[in-house]
């Protein structure tokens, strides 16, 4: 079983709420939470840009220490690139899809594939996460 739905980001500075609302809409539509969020490289670069320039936006961005596996939060001085989006009931991995237009992203649920298989198809983004404020 595979579900895919595409959404539009109306305002770059509101990208976080847009993704969060899209996750809820996806669940209401299909009764499954997506596992992958795809967008083109420009869309992801704009999201990363907004996280890096909006004061306080990095408060919920974190990565993992390679040696200990512990969570390490991003500092205001650190430039970050996001790899996924996590909320209370859902976590979606970011993958490139060069077919999508700017300011659009797709949410995908696929019961037949593991994420690693999907990333061969879409190319994973870098290694940081964000939790919605």
pLDDT at 44: 96
- Hunting for tokens 């700017």 — which residue is that? 102
Q: What pLDDT does residue 67 have?
A: 86
Residue 65 has what pLDDT? 82
Radius of gyration of the chain (CA): 14
C-alpha neighbours within 13 Å on the C-beta side of residue 55: 0
pLDDT for residue 114: 60
Domain boundaries, the chain: 2-104
| E strand or H helix at 90 | strand 90-96
Question: pLDDT at position 89, please?
Answer: 85
Mean pLDDT by 10 residues, the chain (133 residues): 96 94 97 95 96 90 86 88 89 93 96 57 47 46
Look at residue 62 in the predicted model and tell me its pLDDT: 87
Predicted confidence at residue 78, as pLDDT, reads 87
Nearest to 92 by CA among 129, 58, 56: 129
Query: How wide is the angle at C-alpha 81 spanned by C-alphas 117 and 88, nearest 5°?
Result: 70
């Amino acid at each position: 079983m595979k579900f895919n739905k595409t959404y539009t980001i109306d305002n770059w500075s509101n990208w976080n709420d847009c993704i969060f609302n899209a996750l809820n809409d996806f669940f209401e539509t299909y009764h499954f939470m997506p596992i992958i969020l795809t967008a083109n490289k420009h869309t992801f670069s704009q999201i990363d840009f907004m996280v890096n320039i909006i004061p306080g936006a990095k408060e919920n961005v974190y990565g993992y220490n390679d040696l200990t596996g512990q969570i390490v939060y991003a500092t205001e001085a650190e430039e970050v690139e996001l790899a996924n989006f996590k909320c209370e009931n859902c976590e979606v991995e970011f993958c490139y899809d060069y077919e999508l237009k700017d300011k659009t992203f797709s949410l995908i649920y696929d019961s037949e594939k593991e994420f690693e298989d999907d990333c061969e198809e879409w190319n994973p983004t870098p290694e940081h996460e964000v939790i919605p404020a």
